[in-house]
Structure 1
Amino acid sequence: MTDERELDDGLAAFDQLGREMAETNRLLRAVQSDQATRNQQEHDLSAEMRAALKQATGASQKALQASQTEIRSSLLWAGLTAFLIVLVAFGGGYFFGQQAGWDTGHADGYQKARNQEAAASWANTPAGQRAYGLDRQGNLDLLTMCQGNGWTTERRKDGTVCFPNADAKGNITGWYLP
């Protein structure tokens, strides 16, 4: 009976092994089926990702072209704006400089006219008339520059003084009176 029992046990074990093999085969087919499904899904996702990547690349190229166009446009506007600012600055500088020059010219002209007026007023005095007479005879320069024969100049603390001295022959030069 032991042989029969062993045989029954062996058959039962063989049956059990057959069932386990069938279950293993079923699980293996399920895994293979799942793997095939996963492979198909990965392939589909890969195709979708390639399409999305292609779209993203196209969009980025369009954005790059648009930004380059925008940069050119911005640079053009910035350049034009800078040119206009410089033009306005030059115009303003010219206007204000011309105005300041005009005012300065008028002030200088007015001051010179006042000086001329004062000089004309002095020229009409007796001293002015005498100085004019000396100048007409050519003696004013001789007198004011201390250039007569034998005349010398000497520096003193309050200015330069002209001394008419006798020359080597003992002559003293002078000037004609008006």
Structure 2
Amino acid sequence: MIDERELDDGLAAFDQLGREMAETNRLLRAVRTDQATRNQQEHTLSAEMRAALKQATGASQEALQASQTEIRSSLLWTGLTAFLIVLVAFGGGYFFGQRSGWETGHAEGYQKARNQETAASWANTPAGQRAYGLDRQGSLDLLTMCRGNGWTTERQKGGTVCFPYADPKGNVTGWYLP
């Protein structure tokens, strides 16, 4: 016979597992959203850099055609300098954006893996095995949803309590539902 305390511990641990999995899913969605935002920012930066590069190249071409003398050489260097500045800015923006995104994704992925590792290790404990056994027998839903004959639920102290029966002294016992 399973002690009620062990059952409570198993149910509490099973509930914790559910919360950790929900948190893991939330973090994964946040990582995906953050990565999509970073990709959009990098794409916008790239488009702006191409426009600036096109504008700088156009200005350089006009300057080359307008002058035949020493001004021609001077404008050519100005255009090349602008082109190099644009290339350096584009490369730096891409590098720092990519690095920041990778570091954030790596940290969040590591945290998710740690949470799943914790959940998996709990599932291999005696309490986790008992909870799994209850689930295989169909009893876990009965316990967590308070669906037994004559069982009732009440809201107490911010939680829902299941009252399955009264003991011989008339005391009612129960457990908190997840």
Structure number with greater Rg is 1
Q: Which has the higher contact order (CA 8 A, sep 6+)?
A: 2
- TM-score > 0.5 by shorter chain: no
TM-score normalised by length of structure 2: 0.39
TM-score normalised by the chain length of structure 1: 0.39
